[in-house]
């Protein structure tokens, strides 16, 4: 999901972030297989229906938001530390 960005190489992407994303991805795949068995569009056409595309988009949106929140928190902590050590 989401291209080639290696998040584990960044100091702001924590093991907790990775675990949350792994859980969301796992649940998307798990429920996607259940959904596929019940959805004629997904099953017969071999492509995701609108509901599955929306679910995928929601996980991608969570990931983008998590990245931005993690970056912001990391940069704020660094700025605060710098401010405290200079003062």
Q: 7 and 71 in contact (C-beta within 8 Å)?
A: no
What are the C-alpha distances in Å from 51 to residues 2, 26, 63, 77, 87?
Answer: 19, 17, 19, 39, 53
pLDDT computed for residue 85 by the predictor: 86
Radius of gyration of the chain (CA): 18
Domain positions in the chain = 34-87
84 vs 78: CA distance, rounded Å = 10
Q: Which two tokens stand for residue 67?
A: 């990245």
Q: Kindly give the confidence (pLDDT) of every residue in the chain, 87 residues in length, as a single tens digit, with 9 standing for 90 and above.
A: 555 567 777 888 888 988 999 999 999 999 999 999 999 999 888 889 999 999 999 999 999 999 899 999 999 998 998 888 876
DSSP 11: T
């Amino acid at each position: 999901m989401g291209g080639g960005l290696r998040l584990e190489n960044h100091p702001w992407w924590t093991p907790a972030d990775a675990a949350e994303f792994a859980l969301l991805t796992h649940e998307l795949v798990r429920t996607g297989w259940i959904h596929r068995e019940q959805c004629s569009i997904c099953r017969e056409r071999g492509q995701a229906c609108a509901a599955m595309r929306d679910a995928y988009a929601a996980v991608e949106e969570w990931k983008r938001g998590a990245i931005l929140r993690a970056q912001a928190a990391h940069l704020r902590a660094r700025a605060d530390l710098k401010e405290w050590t200079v003062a």
